[in-house]
Amino acid sequence: KRYFGDDISEESRRFRKIIEDSTKYAGAANAADYLPRVLSWFGMGYELEEIGTDTSSVILEWAMSNFLNHPDVLKKARAEFGDEIGQKRLVDETDLHKLPYLQSIISETLRFYPATPMLLPHLSSTDCTIGGYDIPRGIILLVNAWAIHRDPMLWDEAESFKPERFMNKSNNREGDDGGGGDGFNKHMPFGLGRRACPRIGLAQRVVGVTLGCLIQCFDWERVMEDEDIDMSEGKGVTMPKLVLLKAMCKAGPIMNTVLSEFANATYY
């Protein structure tokens, strides 16, 4: 709210500009220009938090946008909380394994709108062969996860938002999320292998709990009831929405419990 709300202070304006410029220029289309810079930038040392916060917030925004365009998905996600969590207490990390539909929504959002669509640039340290192509040492390789995630040869109804495809992985080949089985990993929002995202677990917990709380605490509606949320993609190393999401929300009963707990808490 402080940096992206309507009240535009000088500090928030500068903060927005830095985020906007860094994602825009790091993902610029001219590879020859930007790759060496990105790599040397990483070589100088980079903060884990810088990589993690943007990807996590971007994916939350895409997930919320999908909810607003697919109210049936939102309804099903809310129903999954059941009586145990429901409106009684806030969802926490230990609940996530009991919420497979919520996790499928996150997997499907990461398939359709991968937060890092080209992963990060990789450099071949030795001569190697990838998919039948000879790759000499010292070549910069980009993996187009975005295209793999939308390939109609790999996914049924690749252009539809269908969290159900990630349910019942064991008896549904389509739902293979990269765990092997058929030997081909087609879902790779965190990359694969040795240089895959080292904080997958943290990211899944942060996104899962935050999304869970947003569903639990508020009723969500589109600002223009009859107009779909614009799902156009902006440019950047992490894939932002072209049009920032605006939505309406109404607090649910659980907010009374949450707020009174805060009011009664003692802080040291």
The residue with tokens 């939308």 is: 150
146 binds ligand HEM (CB under 6 A): no
> Which residues touch 187 (CB under 8 Å, ≥6 apart)?
107, 110, 111, 149, 176, 177, 178
Compute φ and ψ for 202, nearest 5 degrees: -60, -45
Task: State the minimum distance, in angstroms, from the CB of residue 79 to ligand HEM.
Answer: 25
The Cα–Cα gap between 199 and 187 comes to: 17
189 binds ligand HEM (CB under 6 A): yes
Determine which residue in the list 198, 218, 231, 252 makes contact with ligand HEM, applying CB under 6 A: 198
213 labelled ligand-binding: no
Q: Which DSSP string do the residues of 225-236 spell out, in sequence order?
A: TTSPPP--B--S
195 binds ligand HEM (CB under 6 A): yes
**Stretch 22-61 residues interacting with ligand HEM (CB under 6 A):** 48-49, 51-52, 55-56, 59
Name 134's bridge partners: 129
196 binds ligand HEM (CB under 6 A): yes
Stretch near ligand HEM under the rule CB under 6 A, chosen from 74-82, 159-167, 201-209, 245-253:
201-209
> Please, what's the b/e burial string for 216-240 (b: 16 or more CB within 10 A of its CB; e: otherwise)?
bbbeeebeeeeeebebeebebbbbb
Determine which residue in the list 68, 105, 207, 237 makes contact with ligand HEM, applying CB under 6 A: 207
| 48 vs 79, beta carbon nearer ligand HEM | 48
Task: Note the residues at the interface with ligand HEM (CB under 6 A).
Answer: 48-49, 51-52, 55-56, 59, 115-116, 119-120, 189-191, 195-199, 202-203, 207
